[in-house]
């Protein structure tokens, strides 16, 4: 993914997408994921480790990234990759947008860019895991607006009373 998609989301700011990592992205990801208020400290550490590991090992780490920048500032990102032991299935591991900029289409831009990237790599299905908790209703509704269907729910998965909802989408309709 070498192209840059741009989208004006306020009167002044333009969001540009990039798929190359910068060292500052470790802190940027920590800040955005923390700001969403949706993740435990251990989960935030995992999000940052995936950036760090990819900076260190490159593609061999197995993770792909798309970042949304407004000028010099990171305002959102997606992390995705081929699911180990599958031939054509990918997982959108993380997607987060600065809470102050949610509802302006940045998340949708990131999902579209991730799906386009996966299609170019031959991926046929994209999966997203999220929580089944009531406070994730807006997140689940966002995935549904992006064309994802809840294909399964595993109760007490993340913690007792906190189930996992597994969303899926076919990325190609051909044979």
Q: Where on the chain is the footprint of its own copies (CB under 8 A)?
A: 40, 42-43, 46, 83-89, 124-125, 127, 151-160, 166, 168, 170
Smaller CB separation from its own copies, 10 or 86: 86
Smaller CB separation from its own copies, 9 or 167: 167
Smaller CB separation from its own copies, 83 or 116: 83
Tally Cβ neighbours within 10 Å of residue 80.
Answer: 26
User: 19-51: b or e for each residue (b if 16 or more CB lie within 10 Å)?
Assistant: bebeeebbebbeebbeeeebbeeeebeebbebb
Q: Which H or E run contains 78?
A: strand 73-82
CB of 125 to its own copies, least distance (A): 6
CB of 149 to its own copies, least distance (A): 11
CB of 156 to its own copies, least distance (A): 6
Task: Tell me the C-alpha distance between 82 and 93, whole Å.
Answer: 10
CB of 110 to its own copies, least distance (A): 20
Smaller CB separation from its own copies, 30 or 105: 30
Smaller CB separation from its own copies, 87 or 138: 87
* Max Cα distance, the chain (Å): 45
CB of 153 to its own copies, least distance (A): 7
Task: Tell me the C-alpha distance between 83 and 51, whole Å.
Answer: 17
Strand 89-97, strand 125-131: pairing:
parallel
CB of 94 to its own copies, least distance (A): 10
Smaller CB separation from its own copies, 27 or 170: 170
- Give residues with Cβ within 8 angstroms of 130, minimum separation 6: 136, 139, 140, 143, 164, 165, 167
């Amino acid at each position: 993914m070498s192209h840059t998609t741009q989208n004006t989301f306020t009167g002044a700011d333009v969001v540009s997408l990039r798929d190359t990592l910068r060292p500052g992205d470790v802190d940027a990801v920590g800040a955005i994921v923390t700001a969403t208020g949706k993740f435990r400290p251990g989960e935030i550490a995992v999000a940052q480790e995936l950036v760090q590991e990819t900076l260190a090992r490159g593609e061999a780490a197995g993770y792909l990234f798309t970042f949304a920048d407004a000028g010099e500032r990171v305002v959102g990102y997606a992390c995705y990759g081929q699911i180990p032991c599958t031939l054509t299935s990918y997982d959108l591991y993380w997607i987060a947008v600065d809470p102050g900029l949610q509802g302006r289409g940045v998340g949708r831009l990131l999902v579209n860019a991730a799906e386009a990237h996966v299609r170019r790599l031959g991926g046929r299905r994209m999966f997203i895991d999220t929580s089944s908790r009531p406070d994730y209703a807006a997140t689940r509704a966002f995935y549904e607006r992006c064309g994802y269907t809840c294909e399964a729910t595993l109760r007490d998965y993340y913690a007792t009373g906190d189930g996992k909802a597994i969303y899926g989408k076919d990325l190609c309709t051909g044979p």
